[in-house]
Structures are given as structure tokens and as C-alpha cells.
Amino acid sequence: MRNPAGSRRDRRSAVTVGQAGEAGTIAAIRSAAPSALNGDDAAVLDVYAPNSRHVCTTDILVQDRHFSFRYSSPYEVGIKAITQNFADIQAMGARPTAVLMAIATPTELPLAHIHELARGINDAASPWSAELVGGDVVRSKDLVISITALGELVGPAPALTLDGAAVGDRVIASGVIGHSAAGLAILEHFGSRRAVPADDAVLSELVDWHCAPRLTPGRGSGARAAKVNSLTDNSDGLIRDAAMIAEHSGVCIDFAAAAIAPDEKLLHAAERTGQDPWRWVLTGGEDHTLVGTTSQAHLPTGYRVIGSVVAVSEDAEVVDPPAVTVDGRSPRYRDGWESL
């Protein structure tokens, strides 16, 4: 075999992070996610548009808690790490511009995993022309990936915060709901990715979505341009994330059951796994679907109506009124992802 790309790949997959050392590991990252801004004590970011502001967020992923190489490839973990951070940037109505990645890794980890992780980060960031501008690599027992995303808000319009929802707003969403949770349920049902029937396109699609969810660029800044009142992303579960808006805004969010009901794909997966798809819809996070509220007549591109903002119940009989309801009633499931 004289394929140089092949032999380079073979060599890299045989090498561990410990053998490559810090310099070799950073080289593997920079070759997969090249940036002229990377490589000094800190990264210098270009001048932004006049009258613009910066947005920054960070999210940390722990192996076997937030991802597992049993289910996901390192490339997919890179995609997912960017998606969950960029979703937070989009949920402010902003545009992602730059990424920092700090990795704590066992020295036995194959160097190829780090290279593939960085490739996933580069591929997921490139639709926004965003790039990996810096990072850190240290030794640890467990693999921990910490991503920081920076973004920009151009122009004087306010950021889209959790506290802007008003009674009378329509609740809107852009993206699928419950698909990531269904994908995880399928993986757990069949025990491994390989065991998922390859001829079942719906199951495969849901599994792929769980392992590497993707965002549509422009949905955050589009919502800001369309003057929506509040926005967040479905990271911890629909009820839980909507409750964040409701509590910060002092309102109640009522979802229309018909608008959030499990779609054909979820019904199919429910049949194959024997689970209730409503649990995926109401409590499953990690779709990073944008969920917000608007009082405008025109919806931003790519959004649909899934409910309405109503006043918090003042009925003295109702103790501890729910922040979020479905067709006016307490949701069947209301738990969500527990960080701790």
C-alpha cells in the first residue's frame, strides 16, 4: 500500500495522546481545525462591526455522561459539542464566531480520537465561518471536553433573553422535538449502534441525530431580526427549558398538544422500543431546537407555532401553579436532564 493518506491515518490511529505529547496532540487538533489565530498565549479576534456586542457561553462534556464512544464516533462528539454551545449563542439571537476547546484526557486515548474530535468541531463550526482559535490540553483520568463559544450581536436590537415573554405571545419553535431522546432510547434498546437494524432508515436517522445534532445557521439572528420577545434552546427537556422562560418572565407557557405531538418518526421508534414517545417530547433535551415567544404577526423564517403565553393562575385553589402546561393541564412528564 502506497497511499500516503492511508498510511498517515494508520500511523495516527496507533499513537496515543501520551505518546504524542502536548505538541503532537495540539498538532493533531490544529491540522483538523486550522486557524491562523491559534498558537499564542491567547487568540486575538478581529475587529467587529460598529455597534455590535459580544456573546459568550461555555458547556462541558464528560465521557460516559454526555457522550459515549460506544455509541458515538469522536467526530460526532465534536459536532455535538459545537451544536450545544452554538445553540446557546443562537438562543441569544446572535451569530457564532469563534471556539475555544480545553481537553482533559487520559494519556491512553488514541491521538486519532483527538484529531477526529477536532475535525467534527471544524465541520460543525464552518457553516458560520467560525473557527477554533485556541485551547488547552491536559492529562486526566476521564475524558472531559470543555468548549467556549463566542458570538456577535450586530446592531442595537436587544439580545433575546429568557425574561421577555409576555401574556398573549405565541410560543414558537424551529427544529425537531424529542428526536435526540428517541435516538438514545433506540441505542439503549438495541445495546449498540451496530445492533440497530441498518435497513430501518427512521431508526438510523434518529440515532444519527442523537449522536450528532445539527443547527440551521441564521435561525437565531433571524428570530432577533423578526423581533421575537424571548428565545432559548431545547437542551435539558422541552418542559424544563420552557419553564426557564416562564419563570424568568413571570408567565405561564401553554403548549398545544396537537402542535408538539410525537411525529411519525417518533411513533415508529416508540413501536420498536415499546416506550411512550410523549416522554421523549416533553422531557428529552439535546435537540437544541430553538423555542421562544413572539407578539409579532409574522413568524421568523423556519419557525412554527406550538403554544401560547398565558397569565399565571391566580385561582386560590391552585397551589404552586405550573409554569408550563399542555392544553391547559399539567404535563404528563415534567422532569428533564439533571446536571448534578
**257 Cβ contact list (under 8 Å, min separation 6):** 326, 327
Least Å from the CB of residue 269 to its own copies: 27
- Tell me the number of residues near its own copies by CB under 8 A: 71
Sheet containing 324-326: give its strands across: 230-233, 290-294, 170-174, 304-310, 252-255, 324-326
Taking CB under 8 A as the criterion, which residues in 146-165 touch its own copies? 146, 148-151, 153, 159, 161-162
Helical pair 201-211 and 264-273, crossing angle rounded to 10 deg? 100
Handedness of CA 238, 240, 242, 244 (dihedral sign): negative
**276 marked ligand binding residue:** no
Taking CB under 8 A as the criterion, which residues in 235-294 touch its own copies? none
The owner of cell 433573553 is 161
**57 marked ligand binding residue:** yes
**135 marked ligand binding residue:** yes
49 binds its own copies per the rule CB under 8 A: no
Beta carbon nearer to its own copies, 241 or 326:
241
* 8 Å CB contact between 61 and 103: no
Angle at Cα 215 formed by Cα 46 and Cα 95, nearest 5°? 25
Please list the residues that pair with 308 across neighbouring strands.
Answer: 170, 254
The amino acid that residue 294 corresponds to is: T
**68 marked ligand binding residue:** no
Beta carbon nearer to its own copies, 17 or 172:
17
- φ, ψ for residue 330, nearest 5 deg: -60, 135
Handedness of CA 20, 23, 28, 31 (dihedral sign): negative
Taking CB under 8 A as the criterion, which residues in 1-40 touch its own copies? 17-18, 20-22, 25, 39-40
Pattern 118-137, binding to its own copies, x per CB under 8 A? ---------------xxxxx
**115 marked ligand binding residue:** no
Taking CB under 8 A as the criterion, which residues in 158-197 touch its own copies? 159, 161-162
The owner of cell 405550573 is 322
Beta carbon nearer to its own copies, 173 or 266:
173
Beta carbon nearer to its own copies, 16 or 273:
16
**88 marked ligand binding residue:** yes
The residue from 2, 4, 5, 46 that contacts its own copies (CB under 8 A) is 46
Q: Detail the residues annotated as belonging to a binding site for ATP.
A: 135-136, 235
Q: Detail the residues annotated as belonging to a binding site for substrate.
A: 66, 286, 337
